[in-house]
Amino acid sequence: MSQERPTYANNSQTVVVDADSFEFETLEETNGHATVVRFHVENPDVRPGDVLLVLSGSDIHFHGMIGMIEDGRGVATDRRGSLLPATVQ
């Protein structure tokens, strides 16, 4: 039986960025908050399956899995607790 889903390694990493300097494009939004974002991936070690964590001080504004990376841009999803404003920054 073949499995169609991508498999992610157990050694995923967390990519932490500051909310004030995080530049992203909103792909999906809910109630004015960006739930799916596209962003520039600066670190070549970042892989699908890693976690994007956007912080403002100690407040979590976005916490979601990076689902794909293409042409140096990643797409991450946080459909539960995103506080990022749904605007292009």
Quick: pLDDT tens for 40-68. Answer: 998 999 999 999 999 999 999 999 999 99
Share of the chain above pLDDT 70, in %: 87
pTM (2 decimals)?
A: 0.83
Place of tokens 């920054």: 89
Asked if the 14-77 domain carries CATH number 2.40.240, the reply is: yes
Dihedral in degrees, nearest 10, Cα atoms 41, 32, 63, 55: 80
Q: What is the pLDDT of residue 32?
A: 95
Give the mean pLDDT of 34-44. Answer: 95
Contact status, residue 68 vs residue 74, Cβ threshold 8 Å: yes
